[in-house]
Chains A and B, each alone.
Chain A
Amino acid sequence: DVKVTQSSRYLVKRTGEKVFLECVQDMDHENMFWYRQDPGLGLRLIYFSYDVKMKEKGDIPEGYSVSREKKERFSLILESASTNQTSMYLCASRTGTGGEKLFFGSGTQLSVL
């Protein structure tokens, strides 16, 4: 089975801290995604990457950046965390063929105090 692993299940940070959320997939997938999930808003796409060192902004990239130096790892970076970035963050991956399903990690619940 495909495994998408997010490094932390729960994370508590202070306002202004730099935060790294890590995601690793073990199936050689080309595409990787970061979403945030908020009640009533569903999943909103922050960034995605269709190949190593390639990235594209999603619908809500402000306040975030990403890094993909290796194919299996996709990191989400909050340069200066703010309280409105408190959310559930979901990483997903899939093959580079259109129409394939996304495989999701179990999520990181981030609280910014």
Chain B
Amino acid sequence: AQSVTQPDIHITVSEGASLELRCNYSYGATPYLFWYVQSPGQGLQLLLKYFSGDTLVQGIKGFEAEFKRSQSSFNLRKPSVHWSDAAEYFCAVEGGGFKTIFGAGTRLFVKA
């Protein structure tokens, strides 16, 4: 069965610092992988996705993610965090049969 683990419940970074949010997945083959963001009081918005090809994918708002098959990971990164990036971030996996499973989320706090 597919599953997603986001090991960090919350992370605090200073504005301007770099960010990395971790995501590990479990699935027999290479699944579709996604990162979504949920800002306070807002719906979920897709940041980026990966299925095949270049293992480094670019998304919106300056985010990128790297797929590492050997580690079953799909970590999200941003070189310089802005205060508006404070939100909850969800990693998701789509395996066979259209089923999409989400991780527990990582809440990002940004210090001034």
Instruction: Check A48/B99 contact, CB under 8 A, given A41-B104, A42-B104, A101-B49.
Output: yes
Binary CB contact string for chain B from 12 to 24 against chain A (1 if under 8 A, 0 otherwise): 0000000000000
A31 at the interface (CB under 8 A from B): yes
Instruction: Check A50/B98 contact, CB under 8 A, given A40-B104, A42-B90, A101-B34.
Output: yes
Q: What's the minimum C-beta distance from A38 to chain B, rounded to whole angstroms?
A: 9
A-B contact count (CB 8 A): 50
The CB with the most chain A CB atoms within 10 A, among B6, B44, B90, B94, is that of B44
Contact call A43/B102, Cβ cutoff below 8 A: yes
Residue among B44, B51, B97, B105 making CB contact with A102, cutoff 8 Å: B44
Residue among B9, B36, B98 making CB contact with A98, cutoff 8 Å: B98
Q: Which B65-93 residues have a C-beta within 8 angstroms of A? A: 90
In the bound complex, CA of A96 to CA of B100 (Å): 12
Contact call B98/A45, Cβ cutoff below 8 A: no
A104 at the interface (CB under 8 A from B): yes
Contact call B99/A56, Cβ cutoff below 8 A: yes
Q: List 7 A-B contacts (CB under 8 A).
A: A40-B9, A42-B104, A45-B99, A48-B98, A59-B101, A101-B34, A105-B43
Please report A residues at the B interface, Cβ cutoff 8 Å.
31, 33, 35, 40-45, 48, 50, 56, 58-59, 90, 96, 98-99, 101-102, 104-107
Please report B residues at the A interface, Cβ cutoff 8 Å.
6, 9, 32, 34, 36, 43-44, 46, 49, 51, 90, 94, 97-105
Closest 9 CB pairs of A and B: A42-B104, A43-B102, A99-B32, A101-B46, A42-B105, A104-B43, A104-B44, A42-B102, A99-B51
